[in-house]
Amino acid sequence: MSIAMQSSLSIDSGERPKRAATKVRNYQVWPGKNTFICKGRLIMGPDTNILCVTVSLITFPSAVFVGLVALDLYEKAGSSGPVILAFSIFLPLWCLLMLGITSSSDPGIIPRCPPPANGSSNISRARTVQVNGHFVKSKYCNTCNLYRPPRCSHCGVCDNCVERFDHHCPWVGQCIGKRNYRYFILFITSTTTLCAYVFICSSYLIKIRLDDLREGDGKASVWDAIAKEPAAMTLIVLVFCVIWFVGGLSIFHSYLIYTNQTTNENFRYRQDMQDNPYNLGGFRNYLDILCSSTEPSKLTLRAVAPEVKRPATDVADVQISITE
């Protein structure tokens, strides 16, 4: 006698339930160390905690500046007060926008290739390609299983090969590469501008306070004005310390753009012993890096990942046959 039994999860109704097919997206099986937001629409690095610190370092001082300095200048600076207040609100928001775009966009990641059938041990470690009449070595990446294009490097933090890799910036929590470099430049230059703006406006408020005090007492000193505006003085000290870092970074990257180098290339002295094959001239370098159109991303993070076959282990997938 042969008895065929098919298990069912709906014993009472006697009907086999329809199992919804779960589609696995590429971002859910991503081999790198990235963090994904909005179901794979935004890609970030693994060190998002430091990014939160960066956001706080911009947001909290800016809120103090607007609430305790800009609003006072709005009332005391005459016709320029509304303009000062408008820029006091716009600049921090612009910095946060550039930070968000830099940290959440694809820096130029090259998707990994399947491992070679004959094994990576039989593949040459490097090959030579020609760039603008110069011969440049293209190394093979054992992790991503591909020959890196010129200026591409593998980031050990994010575990990805990135085109025109500049560096991994922990302050923005993301690699800086071909597709987000201009937004990084806009972020550091706008942050430098914000620091200078806070410094000037806070100093201006102390000057106005000093003038007011001297109208009542001609012997009032700068320290008396500072005592009346402690928030302004605190901001002056804070941005004076910060501007050396972001300002120096802005100047350094201006030099890199002018010479068409990356931070990675500059630190490794790749261009010191030979002509730079990527240097088009100062003005053309700026146009090429900052004004050229951004290439589409090579990633398809929200596409359905290739199906991975698995053994039928769910009760609804098992069909039992008993033969007697």
User: What positions carry a catalytic annotation?
Assistant: 169
Which amino acid does the sequence have at 23?
K
Residue 234 contacts residue 65 (beta carbons within 8 Å)? no
Instruction: Pick left, alpha or beta for residue 72 (phi over 0 → left; psi -120 to 50 → alpha; otherwise beta).
Output: alpha
Phi, psi for residue 57 in degrees, rounded to 5: -65, -25
Q: What residue has token string 């600076």?
A: 77
Closest CA to 140 of 124, 160, 156, 116: 124
Residue 48 contacts residue 173 (beta carbons within 8 Å)? yes
